């Protein structure tokens, strides 16, 4: 099959898909209904937090105390933030890449899916807090066990969503490619891979927040280097230092939010032809 014919077919499909999309109106962030309810919710939550903190100082710190802790010990928080960020980036990248590559192999060879998927499910249903100490014994007290725990947490949602996307192919387009005698690689490159991107990004919406959770859990249960926001939460809670505990939790939340924002921006650039969201699986 000629390269020009493949490109012409792909371009025709992409143009038809783009023309089918409705025209965009006012950006969502300019609409009052998009951000005012959220703002009201956060204000109410902050007021309730303050009331509980004032009446039960041993349960919650005041927001002023949390803010003061962040300002006074900014260097400590920043160094621990970078450690957790490293665990998230390395672990999530490895888990996401492994999940997608295995999904590609499973989509092309169903025999491999039938052979491997039961083992994957067994690993995924095993509590991660039970695996982490064993990983420390196997790989030492460094960062490697934390990378592995983080990667395991994101691996399964990426595998499931990528596999669904690679198989959700427009059968009419697939028939066209087969009629033109396209090779398996050409079908993957020009049809399956681009068509799977909405599912891949839906999986990433689950995987990236889970990566933050996985890194924090790894720092909770994996002995060794006492660094990272998760370790800071553990040590400060043991010392009943609520301000540091909740400041660290707030930074973990911030990290997750930043990852989602970056993902949304990347998705907007990559999936410029798609306005709709695919429901994630997992």
* CATH number reported for the structural domain that contains residue 256 in this entry: 1.10.3720.10
Residue 102 lies in a domain: yes
Residue 168 lies in a domain: yes
Which residues does 105 contact at the CB level (< 8 Å), separation at least 6? 112
Closest CA to 201 of 121, 273, 150, 148: 273
CB atoms within 10 A of CB 250: 17
Residue ranges making up the domain that contains 129: 77-271
Q: How high is the pLDDT of residue 175?
A: 77
Residue 92 lies in a domain: yes
- Angstrom distance (rounded) from CA 9 to CA 7: 5
Q: How high is the pLDDT of residue 124?
A: 83
Q: How high is the pLDDT of residue 83?
A: 92
SS3 of 63-109: HHHHHHHHHHCHHHHHHHHHHHHHHHHHHHHHHHHHHHHHHHHHHHC
Q: How high is the pLDDT of residue 279?
A: 57
Residue 215 lies in a domain: yes
Q: How high is the pLDDT of residue 208?
A: 92
Q: What is the domain count for the chain?
A: 1
Taken in order 230, 232, 236, 242, is the CA torsion positive or negative? negative
Q: Using CA atoms of 193, 281, 215, 260 in order, give the dihedral in degrees to the nearest 10.
A: 70
Query: How many residues are recorded in the chain?
Result: 282
Q: How high is the pLDDT of residue 59?
A: 87
Residue 279 lies in a domain: no
Residue 143 lies in a domain: yes
Residue 197 lies in a domain: yes
Q: Which residues of the chain have pLDDT under 50?
A: 1, 20-22
- Angstrom distance (rounded) from CA 50 to CA 39: 17
Q: How high is the pLDDT of residue 176?
A: 79
Q: How high is the pLDDT of residue 102?
A: 94
Q: How high is the pLDDT of residue 260?
A: 93
Residue 129 lies in a domain: yes
Report how many helices (DSSP H) and strands (DSSP E) the chain contains, helices first: 12, 0
Q: How high is the pLDDT of residue 206?
A: 92
The two structure tokens encoding residue 204: 């990433």
């Amino acid at each position: 099959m000629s390269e020009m014919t493949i490109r012409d077919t792909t371009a025709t499909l992409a143009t038809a898909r783009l023309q089918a999309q409705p025209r965009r109106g006012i950006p969502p962030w300019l609409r009052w209904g998009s951000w005012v309810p959220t703002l009201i919710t956060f204000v109410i939550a902050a007021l309730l937090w303050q009331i509980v903190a004032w009446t039960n100082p041993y349960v919650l710190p005041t927001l002023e105390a949390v803010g003061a802790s962040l300002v006074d010990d900014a260097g400590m928080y920043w160094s621990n933030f970078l450690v957790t960020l490293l665990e998230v980036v390395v672990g999530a990248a490895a888990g996401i890449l492994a999940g997608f590559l295995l999904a590609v192999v499973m989509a092309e060879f169903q025999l491999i899916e039938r052979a491997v998927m039961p083992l994957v499910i067994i690993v995924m249903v095993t509590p991660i807090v039970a695996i982490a100490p064993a990983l420390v014994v196997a790989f030492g007290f460094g960062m490697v066990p934390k990378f592995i725990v983080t990667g395991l947490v994101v691996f399964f949602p990426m595998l499931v969503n990528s596999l669904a996307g690679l198989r959700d192919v427009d059968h009419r387009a697939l028939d066209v490619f087969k009629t033109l005698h396209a090779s398996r690689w050409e079908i993957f490159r020009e049809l399956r891979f681009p068509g799977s991107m909405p599912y891949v990004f839906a999986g990433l919406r689950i995987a990236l927040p889970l990566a933050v959770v996985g890194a924090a859990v790894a720092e909770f249960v994996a002995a060794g280097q006492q660094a990272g926001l998760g370790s800071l939460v553990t040590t400060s809670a043991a010392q009943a230092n609520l301000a540091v505990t909740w400041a660290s939790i707030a930074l973990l939340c911030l990290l997750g939010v930043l990852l989602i924002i970056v993902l949304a921006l990347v998705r907007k650039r990559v999936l410029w032809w798609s306005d709709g969201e695919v429901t994630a699986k997992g």
